[in-house]
Every structure is written in C-alpha cells, then in structure tokens.
Structure 1
Amino acid sequence: MTAPTASARPARAARPQGQWAVDGTEPLNHNEVFKQQDMALNVRERVETVYAKEGFASIDPDDLRGRLRWWGLYTQRKPGIDGGRTAQLEPHELEDEFFMMRVRIDGGALTTEQLRVVADISVEFARGTADISDRQNIQMHWVRIEDVPEIWRRLEAVGLWTTEACGDCPRVVLGSPVAGVSAEELLDPTPQIEEIQRRFIGDPALANLPRKFKSAITGHPSQDVVHEINDVSFLAVEHPELGLGYDVFVGGGLSTSARLASRIGAFVRPEEVPDVWHGVVQVFRDYGYRRLRNKARLKYLLADWGPEKFRQVLEDEYLHRSLPDGPPPPAPVGSADHVGVHAQKDGRRYVGVAPSVGRVSGEVLRGVADVAEAHGSRRVRLTPHQKLVVLDVPADEAEDVVAELGALGLEARPSLFRRTTMACTGIEFCKLAIVDTKDTATRAAAELDVRLAEVQQRLPAPVRLHVNGCANSCARVQTADIGLKGQLVMGADGEQVPGFQVHLGGGLASADREEPGLGRTVRGLKVTADDLVEYVERVVTRYADSRDGDETFATWAHRVEEDVLR
C-alpha cells in the first residue's frame, strides 16, 4: 500500500469531533477535561495517602466517578433504589459509599495461590462476593476505600492487579482459557498476552483513550474469545506460505449501537502481535472520536473509515511497514465455553464447570483451590462465558474432580439453560441497571430446564439466553439466541414493572452457526420479568415444532413472521 497523501488524511469536520490527530487535543467535554488535568493513573497515590485514611467523603468527585476506574473501582448502587429512579437521580444520589472492585486477569489465567488470595480478599473485605465476568475478570462488591491499599498489596504480592481494569484505557486482554494445554489449539497466545501486559498496561501514553479498549487473542479452533465484539482481536490462522500466525479483526462492540468487528485482511506473525496491537490502540487514541461519549468507541471510526482505510493508516503511520495479506479464519470447531472434561496435549485433563450466571463467592473460590490442589493442579482459568476451568487434572482423577466441584455448585455437566444462560450484575449493585438480572436469570434457567426438558432433546443445538439489566449489553444480548435487555414495561394492570425488550436470533460464530449476526427485535415485543419463563418456553417450543430440519434458532428467528415470535 502507498503512503497516504495529505489529501488522503482525514479532513477536519465542520464541527470538531475531538480527534487528536485532526482537531488537536483541546478537550470538548468534562471527561476529556479531567483526563487532561491529571493523568488518571495518578489517583493511586491519593488513595494510599489521603482517601484510605480520611474516608469516602474525602474523595474528589472527578476521582470518585472518573479516575478511580483506572484502578478497577466503581461506586456501587445504594440498596433500595428501584429501577424507575435510575435515570432520574444524580450519580451521588444513586451511589453507596462502597465500591465494586474488578481484579484484572489477562487471559483468565490464575494460579491456585492467586485464587486463594482473591478468595480471602472476598471474604475479608467484600462480604464474600465474587462474580466471574464475561471479560475473564473477578468482580467483588462492598469494598471500602479504607481497605483498598491492603487489597492492592495482597494482589500484587502474587502477581495480580487492578491496573486499568476499568476506565478509558486498554482493558483486560481476553485469551483462550485453555491456551498452552489444549490438544486442539493451533497457537498458544500466552507469550503475546504477557508481552502486551508487560509493555503497555499502565503506560501513561495509552492511559487517555477516547473510551475503553477491548482486546482478545486466541489460538483455539473454537474461537473462544468472542472476537467479533472486541476493538481488536487476533485469531490463529495458517498462511499458505508464512505458516501459523493471526488474522486481525477491529472495531467490534455492542452496547446501545452494536457493530461486529471487521477483518482488515492482514496476516500477523505471533511475535508481531504486540506491536500491531499497540498500533491499533494508537490509531484509536489519535483518531477516535472524543466529543460525544456515546460515539467514542473504535467501532464508530471503523464505520466511517472502513477496514481498508484503517489498515492503511495503521501500516503507514504507526507500523511504518506493510503487513502481508492473509487468509480468513476457518469456521469454528468445538465448544467455546470449555465446559466438561477434555484432553490436554500432555495426556492430562482439564475440567470446565458452569457456575450459575457467573456468580460464585469467596468460599467457593477457596473450595476450587482446595479441589485443584488435592489433585495436583496449580492452575485455574476463567472464560469469557462466565465459566471456570481447572487445568492439569490426572486423567484417572477427572471424575473425582467433577464430583467435588459439583459439590461446590459448579457443574461440569450442567443442564442446558444452566450452561448457556448469562447475566450481568444488574440492579443489585449497578448504578445503570433498571432490573434484577442474576437472581432472575438463575431462577429462569432452573425452571426452563424443567419445563423444556423434552423439547431440548429435539433441538439441534442449545438455545442461549442472555439477561441484561440496562441498554449497555454487558451480557451481550444482541448476540444471544434470546437476549433480554432490561427496562420498565407495562404490566397487566397498566403500571410500570421490571421487564425486558427481546432480541432474537443473535449469535457469534460457533460450531453450530457459520456466520455471526445480531439479534432481531420485533416492534413492541417486551416481556415482564414475571412472564419471562412463560415467554421463553413459548418461543422455544414454537421453534422446536416449526423449524426446518436442523435449522438453527437464529435462522428460524430471522425467517418467521413477527407474530410467531410474540
């Protein structure tokens, strides 16, 4: 590709969009002002020297609702505030004097020693709370600012941290949960993830991005890192001349305006991944839109530029070299959630288990460490599907591990809705949420597994149910077979009650779906929380009775008339 001429560079818009490389760095909203006034990572010193000593009331507002996120801290929702008031109250009215703390776990990789430390922190400082997120992190609640320095000390003593777990910066790098052990994987991305972590996480030059930046790398044929909805993803492929390397996707994301990532058509050798990753982040930093927060993700730049122009800017201005063209990844093969007992390349087994919608606890995590170590394992992984995997289990002890984890409520052979249902944090702790999610989804999955036991035996693949508490799609509602987006809806008596907008037929690439796609919405189709189970039972039964052969739920949901989906 030729270098861009001056006329090929992005022109200044009639109204500046906050693109540093085009408009300059003058801040155009309050978030941009506070990020420039004091680099967000600097807030750690104030936590340690001022806030932890003087308490919650001493925290500067721009630190409280801004910079603390760069260290994995969000204020949590005050108990007792119903969903109807979420959009009516100011942040200080919604928030409690406690924090959600997100522990950053790149690639989802934990030693049992690290897991024990997280478990102990949960029990001692977070009222036993711990959730496995769909970003391979662990989130705890009820954390006091006074305890944060001690929590940091304990985490960092075992090689964990909360650095840039939240905020307008490079978030956790998703990686295959079975990297380095799976008998099927093409490449082990662990060295690339570790180098990105070592070189770039906490780098002040990357600590002020337009908004969050999400990454994923996998060498597993199941494509187990939801690459279509990350800002940048690397998927293992085999080049006919250059051998094994990675294909690159950019510009994916969900929230209120979903966009699946685009291939830029470039082949990246494994050792080049950190530099290409760095180049993509810098393009976002310099050209991403900053004027409006709701337009500040990389997906909006890709929508305007297209993948060809993005690749040209990446190569010419940041890599200063051309990347070879490469092949697209093959269709995914196998299970991306890794639930069950599977062979490792060394003859041992890994055991993947399903908590209920990612909810565990400090005591459960201690139990997992106990079970793993009792069978000679020292390694655990978290997955982007809210699951947990114990590695390195002797083959003749795998069934014992299955039973012992089952006693902790972690199922290696879960019922289908237990396995495929995901949920975000919801109104229990999240200031943005409108409805309950964790308990609602747990109850729904349990009841649906009973009601649809016979129906599920007739389906070619399980139906995936995702439950989200607001419009931001942390539980990926647009990419579920049945995605439920929390909102207030009209009840039978004409009053507003908790409920959901319904998305149908979404999905990411998987062994039972060739092409990713976003869910369909039907005009006026909403369901109350109380009617959720009846609705899902009805639509899944209709699918089972009227599908065409092995037609997937997604294909069926996009094909049938709207009335069939109501």
Structure 2
Amino acid sequence: MTEQLSTEQAAAPRPARPRPKRGEGQWALGYMEPLNKNEQSKKDDNPLNVRARILNVYSKRGFASIDPADLRGRFRWMGLYTQRAPGFDGGKTATLAEEELDDEFFMMRVRSDGALLPPATVRALGTIGQDFARDTADVTDRENIQYHWIRVEDVPTIWERLEEAGLSTLEACGDSPRPFLGSPVAGVAADEIIDGTSALEEIKRRYIGDPAFSNFPRKFKTALTGHPSHDVSPETNDIAFVGTVHPEHGPGFDVWVGGGLSTNPMLAQKLGVWVPLDEVPDVWEGVASIFRDYGYRRLRSRARLKFLVADWGVERFREVLETEYLKRQLVSCESPASPVGHRDHIGVHDQTDGRKYVGVAPTAGRVSGTLLVGLADAMERHGVEGARFTPYQKIVLIGVPADAVDALLDDLDELGLSGRPSGWRRNTMACTGIEFCKLAIVDTKDRARDLVAELEQRFPDLDALVPDGITVNVNGCPNACARTQVADIGLKGQLVMHEGQQVEGFQVHLGGATGLQANFGRKLRAHKVTSAGLGDYVATLVVNYLADRTGTEESFTTWVARADEELLKGDKTLEPVS
C-alpha cells in the first residue's frame, strides 16, 4: 500500500527537471556542441591541417579542386582569403552569396609580428609581389604585407620563399592568434621604457601553430609596446601589453583586455598590473585561454573577447586569470598615463646608439613589389639595418647611419616613400576596399589617395596651422579594419542616395581618438557624404575647425565635442582663417 504524503511533502516543490544547456556556447561551462557552421567546420577538422592539403592536393589540381569548407573557412588559417571577383558593385555585397563573389585568386597576408626585417627580407617580399601577385603589396595596419592575385598553384613556392626570409602566413587570418603589433622602434628609441621584442618572439615560438590555440571563438588580436607614445593602438586590441614602471620593481608591462571596433566598438580595459618581461608569454597564454574556454561561440556577432570582458567586468576577469590559469596573483600597479594622440614615428629620430631611425609614409599603405625591391636597394646602399611596419600603414627604417640620412631621404622621395610627407599623407589610412574585398561596399584606396592629393592642394600650409595633423581613416564597410571610430575623421563606406540614385558614399564619424582623449567618433544623425563630394566636405570641415577653434591649442577632437552640428555637417561654412 502506498504511503500517504504528508501535507508538508505534498506542498513541497518538485525538483526541477534538468534543462538543456543554452548560454553562449562556452566550453568551460560544458557546452561543447557546435552552435553554427563556423564552429562545426572547426570541429570537423583542425584548420591547421589544411596546409598539407594545399601543398599536396590543391596546388597540384587547381582552384576547382578545393573543398568549399576549406576555401571559405580553413584557408584563412594559412593567411588566404578569396578576393572579390571583378564586376560586382557595392550593392551586391550584402545580396549575393559568398561563393558568387569569390574570384579564383587569393589575398595573402604575411605576418611580421613587429620583427626587424633586414634588406634581404624586404627584397624577398618585393620579388614575391612581382613574381606572383601582379606587383601588389600593401602595408596594413596590422603590420602585415598583403598581396592580391595569388594563385593556389603558386602558394607552395611563395611559402618556401617566405620561410627562407624568416616569415610566414600561418594564422594571419581565421579564429586564431592574428599577427601581433609590436612597437616599430623597439630596442632603439631613446625614450623607450622597455623593449618587449623577446616577449613577442617567445609568444610566437610557443603558440603560433599550436593546435591548443588554433580554435578561438573568433579572431584574437595582440599588441605590445614599451614606448610611452603607446604606438600600437593598445585600446583597440583584444590583449595589449603596455610599458609601465613599478616604483619598486622597475620597467614592465600593464595588461589591457577587451578592445575591438567593428559594429560594436569597445575600448580595452586596464587590469592595472605589473608583469615582468619574462612573464609576458605566460600572461598572454592565460588571457588567450580564457577567450578559448569562456568566449561566446553561439553567435559570431558576440564571439569577441570584448563582450566577455564587458559582461564580467575587469575585476572578475583578473580574478579568473589569476586563480584558474596563472595560479598566482599579479602585482598591482597603477596603469601608465595615456599620451596625447598617437605616434607614427614619421621623420628622422635619434637612436640610443648614435644612429637614426627614419619613418616614411606610403599613401594609405599602398605600395608594390617593385617599390619594396627599390626600398631594399636603398637600404643596402645606405647601410640601413632593417625595416619595421607600423600600425598606421607606415614603414620605419632602423639603424640609419647619421651621415647617410639626407641621401637616403632623397632616394626614398624618388620611390614615393616620403620621410617628409604632408600632414594629409601622414595621417590618412584606408582598408583594402571594394577593389579586392568581398565585404566592402565602396572604393577606399584610390579614393583616399585622391583625397590626399586634393587636400594637399587646398591646404598647402595646414602643417603649420595644425602641427599634429588631422587623421582621416577610410573604411569600405562597417567592420572598421582601418579603425574608423578612433580617427579625427572616420569614413565608413555605404551606399547613399544622391539625386534619386544610389552612389558610393560614407557615414561620417568625427572626433575619435586613442591615447589621452580616447573615444569613439561622434556620429551625426542622418548625415552621409557621397564619395564624389568627399573632398568638398572635408575641406569645409577643416575651414570651420580652423575658424571656430578656441586658440591653436584646441585639438580637432575637443572642437568636435562642442561644435554645432551645422558646422560639422558642412551646412554652414565660416570665413577661412587668413
């Protein structure tokens, strides 16, 4: 006979049935099943394995033999994306399937990771561009060289040449540790706090190509600098090590986490710690492991570290890092002061050893294989030790003999690499744009170069009026590869209506900055600019700034924050400053 339930037992709530795990697809919480096609593809086969198929199958059988899962997924771990097929305008970007936009050629990224490249390596980069990439070679804001028109049949030979020169395309793209940003003047600048070169080298040696770190929720961007100018845009990286000085322990690094731009921009948060040089790789591993294990994998739109940091808060993030991964506490230290603006190292500067370093500016990062060969010739001719790329699409030549500077600058001018550029050329960046990128909506490289030439003519004396210049970042889509939101004038490509027609244009972000005034640019409601009208708009904006600023010390960023919208939109034009 069944025993009758007591009143208390009858009233007691029944145990809840276990619910299926939902959440954000975090591995550390037991949710290992793939939640989207990207996660499924990585589970099906580690993307690092595609290298063997490229070498042994695809390069021999050609483009048509490539498995679609490799072509539009795992190839990225080898630094390869299909480029945009010709003939598709910006209106097709969001309406056609990715395979319809695929060309049978690839964009290839070569990572430099802040390394000093001797003349022979610069020459190798140039000859690869000449021989296999229709003479293309762009300097990107991730310190990469980026080629176009690459055939899969040529990839093995290109890799051989790169490896001989000490370079690689491994994990230059994909859900992986993307190429590192290092200070372009590491180890030579007279005002450097600490040289972090050895730490970047060790991170690369330990973790690039390691299957344990080849499957992040999405990309993972690293920056490191020991220079007080914070010359690697640390605010916009997933993890950044920033030079600091502890009152007792001396020089080391603070750790910043969770920066990133795109459609949900967030600035990195500072842990406020002191990490000695030899422990930087361990801390990098800990932060990368948190991203791998706790990062959100359910939605690609939330699969960056910045969302986890925003949800957890920096205190909990540090606690998890210390207790679960490092197994020790970090030394607390006040975060270093932020500089005003950024440092691109353009021009001639003193090194600690009596030699000079010289920063030069290609326009919007556009160079060529032939230009890089010419640069290697000039470096050898004048006894230059090496070159580094910068996060601002520039090149810094290291170890220039003092008595060779003037002749070197003259040779560089002939190449189109000015060490004495106008402020417009110095401060303009542009992403790849619709010429090659399947995500782009508008042209960027040519538009940026034309804009620079136009503004140089309109404002030939601007450098004297605004010594720090006005930064202009041109992006072909919302993904902010050119860091649109942290420029004085950020231009996000989109189609706009003009006289009843859809034409190429830009949404405008104004007054963004890194450093002391770090913020995201001000967006003006319903304000769009056509590509054709861009020069007139920027010219009006500059005239209004010069006429309305309160003294020469007021920065463009400060002015934008207080200026009337009609001045910022160009609806009203003030009298130019005489």
Q: Secondary structure at the match of 1:110?
A: coil
Q: Secondary structure at the match of 1:385?
A: coil
Is the Cα–Cα contact under 8 Å of residues 221 and 333 in structure 1 kept in the other structure? no
Is the Cα–Cα contact under 8 Å of residues 221 and 334 in structure 1 kept in the other structure? no
Q: Secondary structure at the match of 1:234?
A: strand
Cα distance, 1:335 vs structure 2: 6.1
2:420 matches 1:418: no
Measure the CA separation in 2 of the matches of 1:106 and 1:471. 26
What is the CA deviation profile of residues 314-350 of structure 1, one whole-angstrom value per residue up to 9, with x for unaligned ones?
A: 0000000000101211232796111101111100011
Is the Cα–Cα contact under 8 Å of residues 108 and 136 in structure 1 kept in the other structure? no
Measure the CA separation in 1 of the matches of 2:309 and 2:23. 18
Q: Secondary structure at the match of 1:160?
A: coil
| TM-aligned CA distance change 1:443 to 1:13, over 3 Å | farther
Alignment correspondent of 1:6: none
Is the Cα–Cα contact under 8 Å of residues 183 and 345 in structure 1 kept in the other structure? yes
Cα distance, 1:14 vs structure 2: 7.1
What TM-score comes out, normalization by structure 2 length? 0.94
2:534 matches 1:532: yes
Alignment correspondent of 1:8: none
Q: Trace 1:42-57 onto structure 2 (pairs within 5 A).
A: 42-57=49-64
Alignment correspondent of 1:96: 103
Q: Which residue of 557, 560, 563 maps to 2:563?
A: 560
Is the Cα–Cα contact under 8 Å of residues 107 and 173 in structure 1 kept in the other structure? yes
Q: Trace 1:111-190 onto structure 2 (pairs within 5 A).
A: 111-190=118-197
Residue type matched to 1:557 in 2? V
Please say which structure displays the higher CA radius of gyration: 2
RMSD of aligned residue pairs (Cα, Å)? 1.3
Alignment correspondent of 1:374: 381
What TM-score comes out, normalization by structure 1 length? 0.96
Cα distance, 1:13 vs structure 2: 10
278-287 or 326-335, larger mean C-alpha shift: 326-335
Measure the CA separation in 1 of the matches of 2:341 and 2:528. 34
Alignment correspondent of 1:203: 210
Measure the CA separation in 2 of the matches of 1:369 and 1:333. 34
| TM-aligned CA distance change 1:560 to 1:14, over 3 Å | farther
Is the Cα–Cα contact under 8 Å of residues 273 and 335 in structure 2 kept in the other structure? no
Residue type matched to 1:192 in 2? A
Measure the CA separation in 1 of the matches of 2:392 and 2:20. 40
Q: Which runs of 5+ in 2 are unaligned?
A: 1-18, 570-578
Residue type matched to 1:198 in 2? R
> What is the total number of aligned residue pairs between the two structures?
550
Q: Secondary structure at the match of 2:559?
A: helix
Alignment correspondent of 1:506: 512
Residue type matched to 1:554 in 2? T
Alignment correspondent of 1:68: 75
Alignment correspondent of 2:229: 222
Cα distance, 1:461 vs structure 2: 3.0
Is the Cα–Cα contact under 8 Å of residues 341 and 513 in structure 2 kept in the other structure? no
Alignment correspondent of 1:258: 265
Alignment correspondent of 2:502: 496
Residue type matched to 1:502 in 2? V
Alignment correspondent of 1:3: none
Measure the CA separation in 1 of the matches of 2:404 and 2:466. 32
| TM-aligned CA distance change 1:536 to 1:302, over 3 Å | same
Cα distance, 1:210 vs structure 2: 0.2
Q: Secondary structure at the match of 2:49?
A: helix
Q: Secondary structure at the match of 2:76?
A: helix
2:352 matches 1:345: yes
Measure the CA separation in 1 of the matches of 2:367 and 2:561. 35
Measure the CA separation in 1 of the matches of 2:306 and 2:134. 38
Q: Trace 1:314-333 onto structure 2 (pairs within 5 A).
A: 314-332=321-339
Q: Secondary structure at the match of 2:206?
A: helix
Q: Which runs of 5+ in 1 are unaligned?
A: 1-11
Measure the CA separation in 2 of the matches of 1:260 and 1:67. 29
Q: Trace 1:439-518 onto structure 2 (pairs within 5 A).
A: 439-459=446-466, 461-491=468-498, 493-509=499-515, 514-518=516-520
The ranges of structure 1 where at least 4 consecutive aligned residues each deviate by more than 4 angstroms after the TM superposition are none
Q: Trace 1:228-243 onto structure 2 (pairs within 5 A).
A: 228-243=235-250
Is the Cα–Cα contact under 8 Å of residues 385 and 400 in structure 2 kept in the other structure? no
